Amino acid sequence: MFYSFTRVLARFILRLFFRNVHLSGLENIPKNTPVIISSNHPNAYVEAVLIGCLLPFRLSILVRADVFKNPVIRKILETFHLIPVYRLRDGKNQMHKNTESFSKAIQRLEKKHAILIFSEGTSQMGKHLLPFKKGTVRIGFQAYEILKKEVAILPVSVNYSFFMHQQKSVCVHVNKPLMVSSYYSQQEVQKYNNIQKMTKALQAKMAENIVTVPINTLESFQKKLEDYYTNTKVSFWKTKTEQFLTIQKQIALLKTPSTSPRQNSSFLFTSLLELPFVLLGLAIHYATLFPLELLTKAFGLDREFYLSIWISLSLIFTLFFLMILFIVFPVKPAFLLLFTLCFSLLSLYRAFKHKSLSPLKNKI
């Protein structure tokens, strides 16, 4: 119940942070087959929120074990179906605990959950893939042995227009699945070789729909992308998935996508009737989301955690606000006020299109 409610609330929060969400490839999701989702991981746990909200699965997510140390945090994480994974950096004496974690993951597959694994094994902000760890395929092989049925490993590619700008765009593409039965072998030496082979195939399949930019040219790429959207008629929220990826890939290759110039309309409001809502949305934005961004920046964390912390604080604030709202007001006025506030924020972001409303200098 709490998981489902939070999922609905998270979908609204995502609309505050993403101008548009491109979702494609749903036809590639296998039917009546246990699914292990493998995703790239450039933006801490934002990918988990996106996949959990957008794909038609009840997710169990494998995450690094060190976040489970606090017993209170552990209880919260388990409520959201998170499963700890132990790495060498956690200590060799902890690695045996992965047997229990993998067993728990396979039990979730039996209960028709999908398992989400970040196959790179770590989060690093950037437009590139790190070498995949073999754990994703190992779990797939174990599940195939225990469940005695086909298991699909589903690569999901996530691309952001920008990482730290609010009202950026994101593309979530579901690639064609890799079936474990095509690689599985009972013979130990062949099994080991096939795990490596399937891991490479998984990374190659995901890479087909990842925009790759060298880390040393990322900021230059983002500046060119921003200039492109500013000076052309193309807008984030009207761009189709294929065009979204093509534009970024062409810019990454130092090519200029061909489009007609944008007509001068920096602040084009839908109508004068919407202007009061835009102004109200501006007041709400700077009274709530901007202070939360300042608080996020004060943590001084690595930049790949920036958006994750900001979204988390916004989710906590929203939960607290809803509690106060429905305590102070009767149900009908509370819903009316809530609708007005939400509509005002969305009107504001539509009016300003892809422009950042934050005075903080977030280059990427």
Residue-wise pLDDT tens digits, 333-351? 999 998 898 888 888 877 7
Give the Cα separation of 184 and 159 in Å (integer): 31
| pLDDT bucket at 236, cuts 50 / 70 / 90 | very low
Residue 15 located in a structural domain: yes
| Chain Cα centroid distance, residue 131 | 19
Higher-pLDDT residue of 329 and 222 is 329
User: Domain span at residue 103?
Assistant: 2-207
For the chain, give the number of residues.
364
> CA 47, CA 308: separation in Å to the nearest integer?
9
Phi, psi angle pair for 64, to nearest 5°: -60, 145
**Using 50, 70 and 90 to split pLDDT, how confident is the model at 207?**
very high
Reading the block at residue 52, the tokens are 């959990």
Residue 113 lies in a domain: yes
Instruction: Tell me: pLDDT of 24 over 70.
Output: yes
Task: Give the residue from 39, 92, 89 showing the smallest Cα distance to 61.
Answer: 39
Is there a domain that residue 359 lies in?
Answer: no
Question: Which pair of structure tokens corresponds to residue 363?
Answer: 């280059």
pLDDT single digits (tens) 124-173: 788 889 999 998 999 999 999 999 999 999 999 998 887 766 667 888 99
Q: What's the pLDDT band for 361 if we cut at 50, 70, 90?
A: low
Mean predicted lDDT score pLDDT of the chain: 82
CA distance 177 to 305: 29
List the beta bridge partners of residue 169.
20
Classify residue 299: in a domain, yes or no. no
What's the first-to-final CA gap in the chain, in angstroms?
Answer: 37
Whether the Cβ atoms of residue 184 and residue 194 lie closer than 8 Å to each other: yes
- As a whole number of angstroms, the distance between CA 193 and CA 204 comes to 17
Residue 171 or residue 70, greater confidence: 171
Distance of CA 299 to the CA centre of its chain: 21
Contact in structure between 8 and 125 (CB atoms under 8 Å): no
Instruction: Give Cα separations from 263 to 198, 203, 234, 311, 355 (angstroms).
Output: 49, 41, 11, 34, 16
What six digits make up the tokens of 138? 């190992």
Residue 68 in domain? yes
pLDDT of res. 348: 82
CA pair distance 120, 124, nearest whole angstrom: 9
Helix axes 98-110, 135-147, angle to 10 degrees: 60
Averaged pLDDT for residues 203-232: 82
Note whether residue 198 is domain-resident: yes
Report yes or no on 90 lying in a domain: yes
Residue showing tokens 């993951």: 105
Structure tokens at 123: 């989060």
Residue scoring higher pLDDT (143 or 247): 143
Rounded to whole angstroms, the Cα distance separating 104 from 41 reads 22
> In this structure, are residues 154 and 29 in contact, taking their beta carbons and an 8 Å threshold?
yes
The answer to whether 310 and 294 have CB atoms below 8 angstroms apart is no
DSSP state of 95: G
Lowest-confidence segment of 49-63, 118-132, 171-185, 297-311 by average pLDDT = 297-311
Give pLDDT, residue 167.
64
pLDDT class for 196, splitting at 50, 70, 90? very high
Question: What's the CATH number where 157 sits?
Answer: 3.40.1130.10
Q: Tell me, what's the pLDDT at 153?
A: 97
The DSSP 8-state label assigned to residue 288 in this structure reads I
Domain count, the chain: 1
Assess if residue 70 is contained within a domain.
Answer: yes
